[in-house]
Amino acid sequence: MSSNSFGRLLRVTTFGESHGPGIGCIVDGCPPGLPLSAEDIVPDLKRRATGKTRHTSQRREADAVTIQSGVFEGVTTGTPIALLIENTDARSKDYSNIKDQYRPGHADYTYDAKYGFRDYRGGGRSSARETTMRVAAGALARKYLAHHCGIEVQACVVQVGEQRAGTVDWSEVENNPFFAPDPDWVEPLEAYMDALRKSGDSAGARVDVVARGVPAGWGEPVYGKLDAELAAALMSINAVKGVEIGAGFASVEQPGSEHRDEITPEGFLSNHAGGVLGGISTGQDITASVAFKPTSSLRLPGVTIDRHGEPVEVVTKGRHDPCVGLRAPPIVEAMTLLVLMDQYLRHRAQNADVEPPFVIPPGGEHDR
Amino acid sequence: MSSNSFGRLLRVTTFGESHGPGIGCIVDGCPPGLPLSAEDIVPDLKRRATGKTRHTSQRREADAVTIQSGVFEGVTTGTPIALLIENTDARSKDYSNIKDQYRPGHADYTYDAKYGFRDYRGGGRSSARETTMRVAAGALARKYLAHHCGIEVQACVVQVGEQRAGTVDWSEVENNPFFAPDPDWVEPLEAYMDALRKSGDSAGARVDVVARGVPAGWGEPVYGKLDAELAAALMSINAVKGVEIGAGFASVEQPGSEHRDEITPEGFLSNHAGGVLGGISTGQDITASVAFKPTSSLRLPGVTIDRHGEPVEVVTKGRHDPCVGLRAPPIVEAMTLLVLMDQYLRHRAQNADVEPPFVIPPGGEHDR
Amino acid sequence: MSSNSFGRLLRVTTFGESHGPGIGCIVDGCPPGLPLSAEDIVPDLKRRATGKTRHTSQRREADAVTIQSGVFEGVTTGTPIALLIENTDARSKDYSNIKDQYRPGHADYTYDAKYGFRDYRGGGRSSARETTMRVAAGALARKYLAHHCGIEVQACVVQVGEQRAGTVDWSEVENNPFFAPDPDWVEPLEAYMDALRKSGDSAGARVDVVARGVPAGWGEPVYGKLDAELAAALMSINAVKGVEIGAGFASVEQPGSEHRDEITPEGFLSNHAGGVLGGISTGQDITASVAFKPTSSLRLPGVTIDRHGEPVEVVTKGRHDPCVGLRAPPIVEAMTLLVLMDQYLRHRAQNADVEPPFVIPPGGEHDR
Amino acid sequence: MSSNSFGRLLRVTTFGESHGPGIGCIVDGCPPGLPLSAEDIVPDLKRRATGKTRHTSQRREADAVTIQSGVFEGVTTGTPIALLIENTDARSKDYSNIKDQYRPGHADYTYDAKYGFRDYRGGGRSSARETTMRVAAGALARKYLAHHCGIEVQACVVQVGEQRAGTVDWSEVENNPFFAPDPDWVEPLEAYMDALRKSGDSAGARVDVVARGVPAGWGEPVYGKLDAELAAALMSINAVKGVEIGAGFASVEQPGSEHRDEITPEGFLSNHAGGVLGGISTGQDITASVAFKPTSSLRLPGVTIDRHGEPVEVVTKGRHDPCVGLRAPPIVEAMTLLVLMDQYLRHRAQNADVEPPFVIPPGGEHDR
C-alpha cells in the first residue's frame, strides 16, 4: 500500500518526484459545471513558487500547468481532471554527492528503511515539490467553494523563528513576500532572513489559517471529524510538526467557563473552539495554526552516516529555503480547501434534505 | 456518509450512544492466531473507567465486554471481531431539562445543524462514552503489537490547567489516579482538583504519549504519513484541540542546526523529530503531545439559546468530569496503537520483501 | 485485511459466525429522519428464514432483531445503526465429525489455506447465516428507497435444476414457498423438491431480480459502474457462480441492430441493456439474473481428504438446504437495494445540482 | 463522487477522454524493486490496439506510453507510477453530427442524465479508449505476478455472435488476430467478420479467461471475495453484460454430487468451482467467462431522440469495431491481473505469517 490519494468524495491523487520528468495529479469527484481553466490555477501556483525573492530557494520552475481531461468547453464534466506540470529546472547533479548519505532531519534514511533504496535526486518523492500539486488541486476547490458556498480561505505567517507578527491584519498578507499579516513586521523580517541566510542556518515558522463562510453542519462524527481531517491534512504537509484548532494548546490553561463559547440569538460570544464542536462546523470562522520545523538542508556541516553505516560529514549545497514556512500559506490554504470541499460533498450526500431548527449567526472573536 | 470507521487494514467501526442499550465495535482485519479473550481488554477499560475516584464523573459502568465473533477456541480467526458492552448506569432523566438547549462548548447545536435533531440523552453519539470502544479495540492492538513487534505505548498527563508535572518518570504513571508521571505532583494535583470541583469550573490538560520499539520504515507517504494519521487519530478524540509530534510547536523556535537529529553509527543524537521523518518511522521513540480543552459541562450558569433561538441560562447537572484529560491517557494510547497496527499491516503488504541497507540503532533523547 | 464491509456512503459491516453467540451489523451513513423499527426488518428476515417448509433447512432461528443504536424516538439520527440477532438454534455437535475434513465444494479448505485454521462449527463465517444481516440491512434500504425515490426491488426463482418457470408473473412470487413467479409451476416444483430431498442430492437455481423506479443517472463511471457494483454484490452471495445484467449472455448472439434499445420521445422501445448504459441507469427497469450452484452439503458420500492430507469419505449430516437458491430472493433483493441506496447517496453528493436536458420515459419490454 | 480508481492496495486511477489531449493512469502501491520500463507495457498495448486488421476500428494510435514517476534507475521505488499516452489520431469532426443525439445502446443519454451534459467527442470518458490504461496497468501486474508468484493469465475469444470455437487450445491464441483458441475456426471467423462488416451490423462475443498458478488462500470473505471482485472488474469493462466463474450458469443444472469438486491427496478431481470456494482461491486454475454485447455504433440507421426530446434517425459514421469482443482479451487479462495482485498484497498484509496445515495439489479439469 502507498497513500498518494487524499479525500473521499473529492479525491486527489498525486504523482511525481522532484527531479523526474514531471509531476501531476488526478482530481476525481468534482461536480460537473464548474468553469475551469489553467488560468484559475496559475495564481496559487505563483504564490507558492520558489525563486521570487532572495529569501526562498532559487529553483525557478515555470509551473506551466495543463489540464488533460475532465474539462470540456471550459467547464468540468464530472469525470477525472488530470493536471500536469513538467519539471524544467531540476539540477540532479547537485545531489550526487549526497546520494549515499542520510541527511539529518530528512527522509533519506526512512525511505531507505521502508523501500530498500530511494530516488535521491532532490529528495525524490519526499521533496516539497509534491506540494505544487496540492496547491493546484486546492485552486480548483477554492473556485468551487467560492462560487457555490461563498467560502474564503486565507493563511498567513505569524511567526518565524523567535520573530512574531505584532498584529494580524488579513488584508496585508498579500502585500509582501512573507505572507506577513503585519506591515510593520516586514522590514525586521527581511533583516532576519538576510542574517539567517548568511548564517547558513534555518528557521521554523508558524502559519495561521482561517476559513470564512463555512455553514454549520459540515464534518462527520466520529472518525471523520472536520478538525481531525484538517489535522491530518495539515500534518501531511512536509515539515509540519504541530496543529492546533481554535485556541489549541492554550485551551489547556483556559477554565471551562472561559473556553466554552457562549451563545446568544445574535451569535456566539467568542470562538475559542475554532469553529468546530463535536467535529462539526458551528458556522463561525474555522481557525487553525500550524508549526513548521526549520529546514534540515543547511550549509552548516552536520554529523551523519552513509548507507553503509559509516560516519560522514554532510553539507547541503543545492538550492534550499532557509525557512520553508515562508512558502507554506498557499499549501496550508490548499489542504484546508480540499478538506472543506470533500466534507461539503459528504455532508450533502447524507444530509441534503435536512432543515436545521435554528441557524445561529456566526459572530465571536477568535483567538487567532 | 458518516464516518464511524477507523483504519484501513485494521478497521474499527464503532456504534452506540451514551444512553442507548449498549455500545460496541467491529474490528476487521486482525491477523489470525492471536490469543484473545475479554480478560485482555478489561484492564484498559478499567483504566479509562469513570467513578474510580472523586475526581472523575460518578457514572459507574460495569463495562463488561463480550466477544461476539472472530475468536474460536481462544484465538482470533481472521474474521471480524465484534465487541459489545451494555449500558447499565445511564440516567436519562438527568438530561431532560437540557433537551432543547444548546449547551455552550458542546456538540448539541452542531448535531442539530447537521442532522436536524439529535439524541440528547447524555450527549448521544457525541458522548465520550464512545471512546470506551476505542480503548477496547486498542487493547487488541496492544496485545498484537507487543507479541509480534515488541512495541509498547504509554501516555501520561503532564499538565492540568496551569499545573505542570515537574518530571516525567514513566514508571510512576500507573501509581496514581491521575496518570501523573511525577510522584511529587500527585498531592498538589489532588488539592487542585478538589478546589476545581468545588468551584464548579473545569480545566484542560496536556497528555503526552510515547511508542517504544517501532522499527524504522512504518508510515506511508504522502497522505498516509504516520504522523498525519496519528494527528487525525488523536484529534478525533473528544475535547482535543491540538496535536504535536516530537518537538511540535517548539520546533518553530529551534534553529535547523539544533532541530535536525544528527546520526552516528551508534544511533541518533537527539529526537526532536518525534521518531518520524517524511511521514515514516525512524526507529526511535515516537512521541506526541495532545491538548484537551476544559469540559464544557459546568455547574456554573452560562448564556445560550434553545432550539427555537430563544435565550436561556444553562446549568449542567448530570455527572461530569471536571477535567476530561484525566481519563484520556488510555484513549490516547488506544488511538496510537490502532494507527501503529494499521500501518504495520500496510507496510508489510507493500514492503514485506524489503531489506534495508542499514539499521540505525534508535538512541536519542527526546523532547518529551 | 479482511473485507466485511459493503458500500461506500451507505456502509454495512457485518460480523458473526453460524454457531457463535450471535450475528450483527453496523449500517453507517443512513440519512437522518427515516422512521425505523425492528418491525420494518422482520418481514424480510421471515422471507429468508429456514424451517418454514420441508424444502429448506430445518434450523429454526427466532431471528429476533434488535436495534442497538442510531434510532431515537423511532427515527434514524444519522449515526451508525447497529442490528443484533442472537443465535438460538445452533447445534454444534452436528459438526464435530467433519471438523478435520475438507468438505468438497465448501470453504473448509480455503479458510484453512488462508488463515491456518477455522471455526468449523456450521461453516463458521462462511455460513449462509451471514446473509441474514444482509437482509436486515437491505430492509432498511428498502424502506428508504421506497419512501424517498419510489423504488421497488423484487426477485424470484425462475429455474431449479432443469426445471424452469413457464411464465414470470411478479404478482405471484409471494404466494408460494418457492418465490416462484408461475403458479402452475409450484406443484411440479414441490414434487421435484421432494424427490431431490429423498435422493440426498442437491440442485442449483436461477434467480431473477428487477428494480423498478430507479431514475436515470445513478451509477459511476468507470470502476464504480452500477452494473459492476451489482455484479460484485450479487457474486458475493454464497453459492453464486454467475451474474447477468439485462440480456446477459444472450447478448452475445444478438445482432447490434437488435440489442441496442432504440428510443422515441415516448420511451425506450426495448430493454436489452437491463436499464444500465455506460454503468449509469437509464430510468428503465434494472434487471439482473443470478446463478446459484447446488449445495455441496449432501447426504451422498463423497471423496475428500482431511487436514493432514489423508483421504476420507465425507457424508454431511446436519441440517441443510437441498437448494439454497430457494431462499435466495430476499438476499438478492437486499444486495440490490444496498447497491442502489449507496449509489443514490453518491449521485447526490456529486450531482445534486444537475438538471438533465431531457428525461426519457422508461418503457421498453425487457428480456427478463 | 466519481469512481475512477480501482483496487485497494494496488490502486489504479485513470483519466482521459477519447479525444482529449491524452490519457493516463497512476498506479499506487506497487512494491519497490520491480524492474519496469515502457517496453514491459508496449506488448500488451499492441495486443489491444485498433487498426491492426480490417476487422477492428481503423483508428491508429501510437500508444507511446511514458513512465512519469515511481521508477528510478529502471526499478520501481514504491512511490506512485504515472503512465501517460498522448492521443494522436482523434478525429473529433467525425462526431459533430451526433453531438446532440442519444445514440441507442450508448452512454450518451445516461451521461447527460447524470452530469447535465457531456464531452461527445468519440464518447468522451465512456469510450473504450479508457481501457488502454487498464491494459497498461495490467502489464505491470502481469510482470510482478509472473516474477514473484509464477502466475500467468490468459484470455481468448470462444464465441462471436453465433459462431463458437470448436476447441480451446491456449497455445493457439496469439497466432491469429482474433485471440481464437481454435486454428480451424480462424478462417470461418474471417469470413463471418467480413460479412458482418459489409452488413453494417455488429456482433457480441464471449471471452474466457484463466489464471494459472494462483496459490490457495487469496481472496477475502465476505464482501471482498476473489470472485466478487473479479465480477466487478470484468463487468466494469465497456460492453460487458455477464460474468461467470467456473461452471457459471451451467451449475444451475448440475446436481450437487457432480458440481462439488472432490478431493484426493493428489489433487482436486474437477474444477467446476473455477478455482474459488467461499471467495478464496483453491490453488486450482481460476476460470471465468465474460459476455460482450454487440457494438451499438452501427452504419444501419436507428430510431432515437436528441437532447431536446425530438425524434431523429441516427447513423454512426466514425471508425468503429463491428465486434468489440475481438479486442477484449488483453483487457480481460488486465482486470484479472489487477484483481489478483491487489488480493495478493491484501492477503500478505493480514496473513503473512500463516502456515496452512496441508496444501492440495491443483489438478482438476475445468469447464472452460
Mean pLDDT by 10 residues, chain A (368 residues): 90 95 97 98 91 76 91 97 90 73 96 95 90 98 97 98 97 96 97 94 97 98 97 98 98 97 96 98 98 92 95 82 94 98 98 95 71
Under an 8 A CB cutoff, do C262 and D359 touch? no
D351 and B31 in contact (C-beta within 8 Å)? yes
> Hey, of A15, A99, A114, A229, which one would you mutate to test binding to chain B, going by the most B CBs within 10 A of its CB?
A114
State which residue of chain B sits closest to C126, comparing Cα positions: B79
Enumerate the residues of chain D whose CB falls inside 8 A of the CB of residue B354.
31-33
Of C8, C33, C79, the CB nearest to B116: C33
State which residue of chain B sits closest to C82, comparing Cα positions: B15
- Torsion sign, CA atoms B116, B119, B125, B128: positive
Asked whether the bond before C222 is cis by omega within 30 degrees of 0, the reply is yes
pLDDT digits (tens, 9 = 90+) for C280-289: 999 999 999 9
Give C108's strand partners: none
Mean per-residue pLDDT for C194-201?
94
Of A13, A15, A119, the CB nearest to D72: A119
Residue D259: predicted pLDDT? 97
Under an 8 A CB cutoff, do C23 and B69 touch? yes
Q: A149 phi and psi, to 5 degrees? A: -130, 0
- Report the run of H or E that residue D52 belongs to, with start and end: none
Rg over CA atoms, chain B? 21
> Hey, of A3, A4, A14, which one would you mutate to test binding to chain D, going by the most D CBs within 10 A of its CB?
A4
Distance CA B160, CA D135 (A): 59
Residue C16: predicted pLDDT? 96
Mean per-residue pLDDT for B244-267?
97
Under an 8 A CB cutoff, do A305 and B254 touch? no
* CB-CB neighbours of D312 under 10 Å: 15
pLDDT reading at C90 higher than 80: no
Enumerate the residues of chain D whose CB falls inside 8 A of the CB of residue C360.
102, 109, 305
Mean per-residue pLDDT for D39-57?
86
Of B17, B78, B82, the CB nearest to C15: B82
Enumerate the residues of chain D whose CB falls inside 8 A of the CB of residue B70.
none
Of A16, A79, A116, the CB nearest to D2: A79
Give the gap in angstroms from C-alpha D125 to the nearest C-alpha of chain A. 7
State which residue of chain B sits closest to C121, comparing Cα positions: B72
Of A261, A304, A355, the CB nearest to B116: A355
Residue B318: predicted pLDDT? 67
- Chain C and chain D share a number of CB contacts under 8 A equal to 425
B291 and A254 in contact (C-beta within 8 Å)? no
Distance of CA B50 to the CA centre of its chain: 15
Of A15, A29, A70, the CB nearest to D70: A15
Enumerate the residues of chain B whose CB falls inside 8 A of the CB of residue A231.
231-232, 234-235, 243
Domain ranges, residue C180? 5-351
Burial (CB count within 10 angstroms: exposed 0-12, middle 13-18, buried 19+), residue D195: exposed
Higher pLDDT, C195 or A54: C195
Give A71's strand partners: A76
Enumerate the residues of chain D whose CB falls inside 8 A of the CB of residue A9.
1
Distance CA B225, CA A89 (A): 28
Q: Would you say residue C364 lies in a domain?
A: no
* CB-CB neighbours of A270 under 10 Å: 20
Residue C332: predicted pLDDT? 98
Give the gap in angstroms from C-alpha B57 to the nearest C-alpha of chain D. 39
ipTM of this predicted structure? 0.96
Under an 8 A CB cutoff, do D356 and C205 touch? no
DSSP state of D42: H
- Report the run of H or E that residue A281 belongs to, with start and end: strand A280-281
Amino acid symbol at D54: R
Give the gap in angstroms from C-alpha C261 to the nearest C-alpha of chain B. 35
Higher pLDDT, B345 or A90: B345
Place of cell 496469439: D174
Under an 8 A CB cutoff, do A351 and C29 touch? no
Q: How far apart are the first and last CA of chain B?
A: 38
Place of cell 495543463: A66
State which residue of chain A sits closest to C33, comparing Cα positions: A354
> Grid coordinates standing for D211?
489464471
> Hey, of D15, D341, D347, which one would you mutate to test binding to chain A, going by the most A CBs within 10 A of its CB?
D15
- Torsion sign, CA atoms C334, C337, C339, C342: negative
B282 and B314 in contact (C-beta within 8 Å)? no
- Among the residue ranges B308-312, D118-122, D152-156, the one predicted with the least confidence is D118-122
State which residue of chain C sits closest to A30, comparing Cα positions: C350
Mean per-residue pLDDT for C144-154?
97
Q: Would you say residue B172 lies in a domain?
A: yes
Phi-psi region of D278 (alpha: psi -120 to 50; beta: other; left: phi over 0): left
pLDDT reading at B93 higher than 70: no
Enumerate the residues of chain A whose CB falls inside 8 A of the CB of residue C75.
none
- Chain B and chain C share a number of CB contacts under 8 A equal to 148
- Torsion sign, CA atoms A194, A199, A200, A202: negative
Q: What is the CATH number of the domain that holds D140?
A: 3.60.150.10
State which residue of chain C sits closest to D204, comparing Cα positions: C252
- At C218 the three-state DSSP class reads coil
**Among B324, D244, D261, residue whose Cα is nearest residue C108:** D261
Enumerate the residues of chain C whose CB falls inside 8 A of the CB of residue B118.
72, 77
- At B240 the three-state DSSP class reads strand
Enumerate the residues of chain C whose CB falls inside 8 A of the CB of residue D350.
1-2
* CB-CB neighbours of C309 under 10 Å: 14
Enumerate the residues of chain C whose CB falls inside 8 A of the CB of residue D159.
252
Burial (CB count within 10 angstroms: exposed 0-12, middle 13-18, buried 19+), residue B123: buried
Burial (CB count within 10 angstroms: exposed 0-12, middle 13-18, buried 19+), residue A202: buried
Tell me which chains share at least 3 CB pairs under 8 Å with chain C: A, B, D
Distance CA A163, CA A187 (A): 12
Q: How far apart are the first and last CA of chain C?
A: 38
pLDDT digits (tens, 9 = 90+) for B205-218: 999 999 999 999 99
Under an 8 A CB cutoff, do C72 and B116 touch? no
Under an 8 A CB cutoff, do B119 and C20 touch? no
- Chain A and chain B share a number of CB contacts under 8 A equal to 422
Under an 8 A CB cutoff, do B68 and C15 touch? yes
Enumerate the residues of chain B whose CB falls inside 8 A of the CB of residue A275.
none
B66 and C21 in contact (C-beta within 8 Å)? yes
Q: How many domains does chain C have?
A: 1
Of C3, C80, C114, the CB nearest to B15: C80
Residues 6 or more apart whose Cβ sits within 8 Å of residue A96: none
pLDDT digits (tens, 9 = 90+) for C240-294: 999 999 999 999 999 999 999 999 999 999 999 999 999 999 999 999 999 999 9
**Among A236, A253, A234, residue whose Cα is nearest residue A244:** A234
Beta A276-277 vs A280-281: how paired, if at all?
A: antiparallel
Residue B265: predicted pLDDT? 95
Give the gap in angstroms from C-alpha C83 to the nearest C-alpha of chain B. 10
pLDDT digits (tens, 9 = 90+) for C101-114: 999 999 999 999 99
Give the gap in angstroms from C-alpha D64 to the nearest C-alpha of chain B. 29
Write the DSSP assignment of A29-90 as a string of letters: -PPTT-B--HHHHHHHHHHH-SSSSTTS--------EEE-SSEETTEE-SS-EEEEEE--S-
- At B75 the three-state DSSP class reads strand
Residue B86: predicted pLDDT? 92
Residue B213: predicted pLDDT? 97
Distance CA C87, CA C95 (A): 16
Enumerate the residues of chain C whose CB falls inside 8 A of the CB of residue A9.
346, 349-350
pLDDT digits (tens, 9 = 90+) for D68-84: 999 999 999 999 999 99
pLDDT digits (tens, 9 = 90+) for D317-357: 766 789 999 999 999 999 999 999 999 999 999 999 999 99
Mean per-residue pLDDT for C348-363?
93
Q: Would you say residue B177 lies in a domain?
A: yes
Mean per-residue pLDDT for D266-277?
97
Q: Would you say residue D366 lies in a domain?
A: no
DSSP state of C182: -
Residues 6 or more apart whose Cβ sits within 8 Å of residue C198: none
Distance CA C74, CA C76 (A): 7
Locate the DSSP E strands across D198-325: 205-212, 240-245, 263-264, 267-268, 276-277, 280-281, 286-292, 302-305, 311-314
Q: Would you say residue C357 lies in a domain?
A: no
Q: Would you say residue B113 lies in a domain?
A: yes
Mean per-residue pLDDT for B259-276?
97
Enumerate the residues of chain C whose CB falls inside 8 A of the CB of residue D228.
231-233, 235-236
Distance CA B220, CA A232 (A): 13
Beta C11-15 vs C22-28: how paired, if at all?
A: antiparallel
Q: Would you say residue C316 lies in a domain?
A: yes
**Greatest pairwise CA separation for chain B in angstroms:** 68
State which residue of chain B sits closest to A289, comparing Cα positions: B242
pLDDT digits (tens, 9 = 90+) for B159-178: 999 999 999 999 999 999 99
Distance CA B126, CA B111 (A): 9
Give the gap in angstroms from C-alpha A75 to the nearest C-alpha of chain B. 27
Q: Would you say residue B82 lies in a domain?
A: yes
Enumerate the residues of chain C whose CB falls inside 8 A of the CB of residue D355.
116
> Hey, of C350, C351, C354, C355, which one would you mutate to test binding to chain A, going by the most A CBs within 10 A of its CB?
C350
pLDDT digits (tens, 9 = 90+) for D149-199: 999 999 999 999 999 999 999 999 999 999 999 999 999 999 999 999 999
Beta C365-366 vs C270-271: how paired, if at all?
A: parallel
Give B76's strand partners: B71
Of B30, B348, B351, the CB nearest to D78: B351
* CB-CB neighbours of C353 under 10 Å: 12
A339 and A218 in contact (C-beta within 8 Å)? no
Residues 6 or more apart whose Cβ sits within 8 Å of residue D171: none
Give the gap in angstroms from C-alpha D31 to the nearest C-alpha of chain B. 5
Residues 6 or more apart whose Cβ sits within 8 Å of residue A105: A293, A296, B256, B259, B260, B261, B273, B277
Enumerate the residues of chain A whose CB falls inside 8 A of the CB of residue D28.
2-5, 13
* CB-CB neighbours of D266 under 10 Å: 11
Tell me which chains share at least 3 CB pairs under 8 Å with chain D: A, B, C
Phi-psi region of A287 (alpha: psi -120 to 50; beta: other; left: phi over 0): beta
- Report the run of H or E that residue C157 belongs to, with start and end: strand C152-160
